[in-house]
Amino acid sequence: MGLVTPVPPVPVSELGAVHFAGIGGAGMSGIARIMLARGVPVSGSDSAPSPQLDELAALGARVHVGHSASHLAGADTLVVSSAIRADNPELAEARRRGLRILHRAAALASIMLGKQGIAVAGTHGKTTTTSMITTVLRHCGADPSYVIGGVLAETGRGAELGSGPAFVAEADESDGSFLMLAPDAAVVTCVEADHLDNYGSLAEIEAAFTAFAGRISAGGLLVACGDDDGARSLADQAAAAGLRVLTYGTTAGVSYRITGITPLGMSTRFTVTGGAGTRLHASGPAEVRIALPGRHNALNAAAALALTAELGFAPGDVVAGLAAYAGARRRMELKGQADGVRVLDSYAHHPTELAADLKAARDVADGGRVIAVFQPHLFSRTRIFAADFGAALALADEAIVLDVYAAREDPEPGVTGRLVADAVPGGRARFLPDKAAAPAAAAALAKPGDLVLTMGAGDVSALGPPIVAALRERAGDDHAGQAGGQPGGRADGRG
């Protein structure tokens, strides 16, 4: 895949009526929400009903279930994502009529135009870091606009038009479209091999991130993770090119250094010390506590602290904002508990993410066993990383592996969840192609004190409440435990 060629963003006032093909997606629905708030006539379609469609309809959008050329009636601009195939009837109709066609990232660039752009990129941690930055800015009274690839628990929304100058956006590297953004400040959490269905190699991914850093405006800021080889290399290149660069992590020599990471159930406590030349240096070390488990979330919080402090917000206010962060849905989200078993949900869909969340789950379980219910996402990713997924799932005591969630890909012969299950050492994984059987299977494995973690980027998150219900039924008590925990809520009552 060649790098995306950036184009100047089209002002929102010139878009006319905008139709979104795939409007129910996390990023698409957020952009549509902000366009509606700015008075743009919006319509859209998606393949299935969803709460996102209902919310947009209530805000004034004209929404449809299913795709049809007739849905473009009155539209001037069509917005598509990489998930929309070339033979989509709405895309074909837009081409036939000569409508303006924008990629989702180009539409995001349009609504960011004129704002102080803050973009968060990286193979892992984008949603959490974007959410943390947004929460801190809200806590500091900056009232930012934001578009997140998830739902912010504090607001119950994944996007909002704020009155302040800042616009915080999750920047998607999966298809190279993040090169359409030109932020004033950016965070890069890590640069690792993924999305190899679009990129030919890690070298191509690294080249894309180098180009992304080159899109940061003159006088802007790059905050990069010094613990990650790829992000650290990018930071060195960007600094050599004259960009202002700060690093964060646990490694000696970073600008914002984390020490004393202490797990506290579903919370984490740590200290961040600012090096010479940072805004934190003068105020002294910051004692931070976040209501999320795991070393990786301490890194995400340090990125948010570094970015917002360097933008001029008082470190004490930033730390208070991080303490107020209530999480984002699907990021170690408590779905409920029954018969002494807690059920959490994770969006992890890459081996590195599985390993990080399973290590965090081990801390949360506090001596209990960890049972993973994993749904592989994409046939290409499953084929490429099957052995790595197996190694990551070895961190669980038991694993149930579902079949592949196809998303935008066609099936590949011989590529199923069994590849992953067979790669888990010690025979501790079971391949379960029938997803409907997973709640009963998980409940049969779990004992009081255990933790069940559903994992994946597909529809595996829907299994949380049925697993809780199966645990309640096992206990013979319709009122035992509670289902549907708050997004990002604490699972242990602490922190």
Which is catalytic among the residues 127, 134, 416, 454?
Answer: 127
How far, in Å, CA of 381 to CA of 432, rounded?
Answer: 19
DSSP states along 219-260: T-EEEEETTSHHHHHHHHHHHHTT-EEEEEESSTT-SEEEEE
The DSSP letter of residue 462 is: G
CB burial readout 24-45, b (16+ within 10 A) else e:
bbbbbbbbbbbbbbeebbbbbb
The answer to whether the beta carbons of residues 47 and 65 sit under 8 Å apart is: yes
Whole-Å CA distances, 13 to 290, 352, 394: 40, 42, 53
Structure-token pair, residue 347: 């969006």
Structure-token pair, residue 263: 């797990």
- Reply yes or no on whether 170 is catalytic: yes
Which is catalytic among the residues 90, 154, 160, 170?
Answer: 170
Which is catalytic among the residues 77, 115, 123, 126?
Answer: 126
- The single residue listed with the structure tokens 């590297």 is 173
Structure-token pair, residue 417: 């969840």
All residues at 6 or more sequence positions from 427 whose CB lies less than 8 Å from its CB, including other chains: none
- How many Cβ atoms are within 10 Å of 71's Cβ, its own excluded? 20
**Active-site residue list:** 126-127, 170
